[in-house]
Amino acid sequence: MADDDEYEYVEASCHCELNSFAVRFTLANLPIPTDFCHCNTCRHISGELAVEYVAFEGVPLKSARPVSRSRARHLNGLGSRNCSRSPAPGSVSPVGQHGRHVLLVGNGGLLAPPIVITVEEPSQTETTFDLSDLTVYKPSPDDSRYFCRICSAQLFKLQRIGDDDHWSVAVGVLDETDGILKGSAHIWVGDTLDGGFADHLRSIDGQDLPRYKEGLDSELLPIEWKAPSASNPPDSTIGPANAHDLLPAYCHCRAINFALTRPNQESTLPSCAFPDLLYPYNVTHLSKVHNPTDQKWWLRSNNTRYLAGYCMCTSCRLTSGFELQSWVFIPRANIINLHTGKQIGLDRDEERPKSLQQYMSSPGRYGEFCRTCGAVVFWWEARRSELIDVSVGLFDEKIAGGARAERWFEWHKDRISFDEMSQRPALLKGLLEGLKVCKNSESKN
């Protein structure tokens, strides 16, 4: 058994690499149980259906790896992150105060994680990570969230409990997760009104995940639970239109407010290639991906709902901070800026919402996030600017009939976008299994 002063250090960074750091875990405590939080605060701060953080020892530490040569390009909004995120064979983590570090032996691949060896070394002083390039947002007096001011990645959660500070790191930015953490439960599922992401992810590694209505050890909710309000049509109004016709969305600080309209004739005007969600780019011929018959694939259920799905690509993981990004594909004509009452504008400065910050993850590809609270809001491409990816976690669950918004969205249940990029196979497998169960259940009803 490992001594209390034996640590494993894990490197991490956001997409733009402006913030590269390390966090420390006590070996004796590994793997650390984590939970998927579905609360309204976490959903609207992140844009995700659920978020996952893992607690670490002490404070964030300065990274031991060299500064990327691409860092200057990222600071100017140029370039993309293409470097490997696995430690080099034989690489050594930062040295701890107790004089021990971890040697990582192996290639760090997904299927062959590095072997952990504890090595004695002379004591050295750890350097605290500089937080000055992060924006801090406080949803409550004792809760602080830190996100990258350039690329939007949520990095840290700092909670003040009594006189003590408790740090957690967003799981998606860690270079390694195997053996470090173990997803163990869903919490605050009651806030979703329809079970949210918990209905889609039911188990990991064959272990069922309990679904707590509020925090850990609160009331347990059954699979496919729904609040009574999720089964009844809304009766409130929003502006000039009835709530049946507009679906509002907002970030936690409310600086970003917009709404969707139901599919209409304008929804059929864009012409777009198929997404990886429907046809995997790594195995599908371009002639098929290019959508030669001009199918309006983003419209579902006889053109009454929009297509939604999950993505595990590296870009989404490192710009959100979490391993699963939930998107819905919406024509720009159906996205209304509630501040102006007009269609949302993203490619002209005079039409853009003032609090929306843009990050170019690679040439012609743009992420949009709230500069105040950090919520990921949109993703779009210059070559298909009339069809926008919108974060599902931002929608008003009361009007939508639940966090999954199934009155408006049809979830794709056969594939996760860019699943070959997943760095956590057990999570991917558990989600695909859960989606399959949901699909089979729907086909019987």
* Domain ranges for the chain: 7-66+82-208, 233-444
What residues are paired with 242 via a beta bridge? 237
Task: Give dist(CA 96, CA 61) in Å, integer.
Answer: 10
What residues are paired with 174 via a beta bridge? 12
H/E run at residue 320: helix 314-320
Residue partners of 361: CB distance under 8 A and separation at least 6? 15, 80, 81, 151, 315, 319, 367
Residue partners of 228: CB distance under 8 A and separation at least 6? none
Kindly tell me the burial class for residue 13, based on how many C-beta atoms sit within 10 Å of its own C-beta (0-12, 13-18, 19 or more).
Answer: buried
Average pLDDT of every residue of the chain: 85
Q: Categorize the per-residue pLDDT at 424 as very low, low, confident or very high, splitting at 50, 70 and 90.
A: very high
Its pTM stands at 0.85
Average pLDDT over residues 170-194: 96
Q: What's the token pair of residue 272?
A: 């777009």
Q: Categorize the per-residue pLDDT at 110 as very low, low, confident or very high, splitting at 50, 70 and 90.
A: very low
Q: Categorize the per-residue pLDDT at 163 as very low, low, confident or very high, splitting at 50, 70 and 90.
A: confident
Decide if 172 contacts 47 (C-beta within 8 A).
no
- More reliable by pLDDT, 240 or 421: 421
Residue partners of 348: CB distance under 8 A and separation at least 6? none
* Contacts made by residues 80-86, CB under 8 angstroms, sequence distance 24+: 80/315, 80/361, 80/362, 80/363, 81/15, 81/16, 81/17, 81/314, 81/315, 81/318, 81/361, 85/13, 85/175, 85/314, 85/423, 86/114, 86/175, 86/176
Average pLDDT over residues 147-158: 97
Decide if 36 contacts 51 (C-beta within 8 A).
yes
Neighbours of 105 (CB within 10 A): 13
> What's the one-letter identity of residue 392?
V
Q: How long, in residues, is the chain? A: 445
Average pLDDT over residues 262-269: 96
For the stretch 403-418, pLDDT in tens is 999 999 999 999 999 9
CA 135 → CA 153, 352, 412, distances in Å?
10, 21, 34
DSSP 430: H
On the question of pLDDT at 194 being above 80, the answer is: yes
For the stretch 58-89, pLDDT in tens is 999 998 866 543 443 344 444 333 332 233 33
Rounded to a whole number, what is the largest CA-CA distance in the chain?
Answer: 70
What residues are paired with 277 via a beta bridge? none
> What's the one-letter identity of residue 211?
R
Q: What is the dihedral of CA 352, 357, 362, 364, to 10 degrees?
A: 0
On the question of pLDDT at 239 being above 90, the answer is: no
Q: In degrees, to the nearest 5, what angle opens at C-alpha 9 toward C-alphas 6 and 11?
A: 175
> What architecture does CATH give domain 7-66+82-208?
Beta Complex (2.170)
Task: Give dist(CA 36, CA 434) in Å, integer.
Answer: 15
Task: Give dist(CA 352, CA 338) in Å, integer.
Answer: 12
Burial pattern 334-353, b for ≥16 Cβ within 10 A else e, equals: bbbbbeeeebbbbeeeeebb
Decide if 39 contacts 201 (C-beta within 8 A).
no
Q: Categorize the per-residue pLDDT at 106 as very low, low, confident or very high, splitting at 50, 70 and 90.
A: very low
- Determine the pLDDT at residue 66: 62
Least confident range from 18-27, 56-65, 102-111, 232-241: namely 102-111
- Determine the pLDDT at residue 92: 35
Decide if 327 contacts 379 (C-beta within 8 A).
yes
- Determine the pLDDT at residue 126: 78
Establish whether domains 7-66+82-208 and 233-444 are of one fold: yes
Q: Categorize the per-residue pLDDT at 229 as very low, low, confident or very high, splitting at 50, 70 and 90.
A: confident
Q: DSSP strand E in 200-271: where?
A: 203-204, 207-208, 237-238, 241-242, 246-250, 257-261
On the question of pLDDT at 96 being above 90, the answer is: no
Q: Among 3.40.50.1820, 2.170.150.70, 1.10.10.10, 2.40.160.40, name the CATH number for the domain at 233-444.
A: 2.170.150.70
DSSP 395: B
Kindly tell me the burial class for residue 279, based on how many C-beta atoms sit within 10 Å of its own C-beta (0-12, 13-18, 19 or more).
Answer: middle
What residues are paired with 147 via a beta bridge? 135, 154
Least confident range from 2-6, 344-348, 367-371, 431-435: namely 2-6
- Determine the pLDDT at residue 113: 45
Least confident range from 137-141, 181-185, 226-230: namely 226-230
Kindly tell me the burial class for residue 130, based on how many C-beta atoms sit within 10 Å of its own C-beta (0-12, 13-18, 19 or more).
Answer: exposed
